[in-house]
Chain A
Amino acid sequence: MKLSRVEFVNFKLLDGVVIDFSTEELKPLTVIRAANGSGKTSILYGLAWGIYGDPGLREDNLRLASSFQKIGAPITVQVVVDFEHTEDGISTSYVLTRSLEETPVSYERVEHKFKKLRLVKRLSAGEEEVKNPQQKLNQLFPLRLKDTFLTDGDKVQSFISGQEDRKERQHRVKEAIRGLLGLDNLEEVKRDLEHLERGFRKDLAEGGDKKLQEAQNHLTKAEIELNGLKQSRDEEAQKRAKIEDSIGTTEHELSEITGVGDIDQLNKEAASAGKAHSLAQKDMASYFENARAMFKSSEGFSWSLAEEPLREGQKVLADLADKGVIPGSSIGVLQDRLDIKTCICGESLEDGSSHRAQVEALIEEQSLISAERERLTATFHRTRAGLNSYESDCVDKRDFKSQRPLLLAQHADIEERLRDASARKRVVDEKIKLIDSEKVQRLTTRLAQAKRDHTESSEKIGALERSVALKDDERIISEKRFEEARKAAKGDDRARLRYEMTLDLKEVVTNTLNTLKTDHVRAISGLMNDLFMQIVGGNPELAGAVFRGVEISSDFDIVITSGDGALLDADFELNGASQRALTLAFIWALMEIADIVAPRLIDTPLGMTSGGVKQRMVEAISSPVTSGLLDYQVILLLTPSEIRDIESLLDERAGKYQTLSCSKDYPAELVHDWAEGGPRVRRCNCSHREYCEVCERTDDSSSGLDRRVS
């Protein structure tokens, strides 16, 4: 089936929003452009609810209308989906209308009333109401295939990776394959036919001879016993699966604790951190001691502080020396002159002469200032010697200024070691606190018991398998005997034909199931590999290729092989773009091989992709339907950044395009204010290359988009 149109009434912020989908074979792609928060995911959920009702959403009674709806005010929510379904070459149009009345009773809770579902078939003669609409919808859109039809891009990798564990992923892959190949329905029919076979065989035997009756009794007994054994085996297998789950959970819990760290190891780490801390503390003490000694033992620190004023003083003293003020020597000369009683000028300095009195006064005056000169002279010499020594230290980098950065670096280094050691110790101490040793003990005991139970269960299953095989041999022999007896016996032709017809039907269904489970799973695997390699641009023949290929294993796991033959872990060794590529390749291959025409709607499929991968991904998932290809429909909900660089491809492939905008983005991102009342989403007909009064964003005119002329 293909979607033609959907209309949302009061679904989230979508009120009166209509989306038209392309149903063209040559342009199977519908592009819905919407920035984040503009209704893309609401479209996905709205369609899921419209088609499946509550089971389409993650839980019942979710708020469907806008969260701005007032408490106590009821509102009608409605989704109308127009779609076409083709069966045996005949295309039929349907209109599905699902509605309810929603009343918010608190900020967290809503009440739903008046739930209605209507499905109308549009015929040339008029409309015809489908009597059991949900049943019909379940046939057309099986619920378990919801994630294949309507895919959330952010969860798209769940088939191959993500939070789910390996078993869950295998289950999802298996379910998707079984669902799309219709294996469950065929197996159900097979069980019905086996039941009928026993009934018709009994009828046949009752109309035959004693030998036939005995053979029938033996065969029925063997079958009953075989079924009993199979049931016991299956029950035991289920029990073992539960044990395996329990082992997995326990191991996970233990690994979480192990993730914190093994207690012995943690204690060792704590001791090591403590030792490192003590050592750093010791080094710090030693550093301070050295620094103190350095301050004490030399004048370096004083020199570094006093150098400038000392040099200025030295300059003044040098000036005084140049002028002969220091050192002072005039007193000795004058005393000599007094002793010889003749002045330098030749005047007599006889006792009692006035000239002698003047010289004696001069000597007294000079003696008063000579102490000062001596001190200055001594200071001059000491300072000069000190400065010379300091300059020599500077040349040898032994001065305080040179030593200071080294001391600071040494101090910073020790401080960092102290901080590191403290932090390490704190982390380890926190981890140690987290470890509940009793819990570890409990989990270890539980794990050991579970492993013993697992071994015991495996042994039981092995024994039951052997019993099943033996009993099956017995059944085959009984069946052969019954067949021989049946052929030899004369009896009711109708009874014989009923029996043979049932056997033929069972054979047809069994062989079909085997073919689907083997050949076609291989075909899906092969096509998935082709598509994946096409998208990621891998060529397995090239040396150094990243991927050699991907395949679905016999236990329904998607296995990725690297260029050098190693198996890659989808979670850790595959980037986001490759994960998306692989999942889309799986979905596309599955639907293609299963020959199912169904919408493939994907919300943000190109997140985490860019460049060639993005281009090739869109090329691969939107190819025109040509002869030999399955007719299909693909709807991509894209953000403007996902659209970037693939505009030309979208021009070529998109049959319909529209843009969604949300009024809450005005004025930060939207240019025009068109909302009335609360926030709402509006659709316009702009393509990925256009903007208009509704969708124009602040950077549109500068980003190469054209104004749409309506």
Chain B
Amino acid sequence: MAKINRQQVLREQILNRPERYSNYHEDLAALLSDAMTSVREDRTVAERRKSLTEGIRAKATRGSTAGGEE
């Protein structure tokens, strides 16, 4: 049976993205998980976007300093 597992679909899509630095896919998964949680928790648009911006900034900073770009 073609059961939907949304997490599985998201995981597959994440793995289809290039690994821009080491553990990049894990970072994408964590960012998406946080973004989804923010929506589920009914946080305001401004709050959600601020939080997501900060998350991406933090991870990009760590990723760029790790120098693991492919």
Contact = CB atoms under 8 A, between A and B. Distances in A.
B29 to A, nearest CB: 9
Interface string B1-17: 11111100110011011
Interface string A187-203: 01100110110011000
B22 interface: no
Interface in B1-53: 1-6, 9-10, 13-14, 16-18, 20-21, 27-28, 31-32, 35-36, 39-42, 45, 48-49, 52-53
Contacts of A515: 9, 13
B9 to A, nearest CB: 5
A681 interface: no
Q: Looking at chain A's contact residues, is the secondary structure mostly helix, strand, loop, or mixed?
A: helix
B64 A493 contact: yes
Interface string A485-517: 000000001100110111011011101100110
Given A501-B28, A515-B9, A516-B9, A508 B56 contact: no
Contacts of A193: 35, 52
B1 to A, nearest CB: 7
Contacts of A497: 20-21, 60, 63-64, 69
A594 B36 contact: no
A630 B42 contact: no
Interface stretch (A112-120, A280-288, A520-528): A520-528
Contacts, number: 111
A346 interface: no
B13 A192 contact: no
B32 A508 contact: yes
A594 B4 contact: yes
Interface residues of B, number: 38
Contacts of B32: 189, 505, 508-509
Contact of A501 (B1, B16, B40, B56): B56
Nearest to A139: B40
Contact of B60 (A138, A498, A527): A498
A189 B4 contact: no
A520 B4 contact: yes
Nearest to B13: A508
A595 B56 contact: no
Q: Which of A189, A497, A526, A595 has the most CB of B within 10 A?
A: A497
Given A189-B36, A515-B9, 12 more contacts: A192-B49, A196-B49, A500-B20, A501-B20, A501-B59, A502-B56, A505-B32, A509-B32, A511-B16, A512-B6, A512-B9, A593-B3
9 contacts: A185-B36, A185-B39, A192-B52, A500-B20, A501-B28, A508-B14, A509-B32, A527-B1, A593-B1
Interface of B: 1-6, 9-10, 13-14, 16-18, 20-21, 27-28, 31-32, 35-36, 39-42, 45, 48-49, 52-53, 56-57, 59-61, 63-64, 69
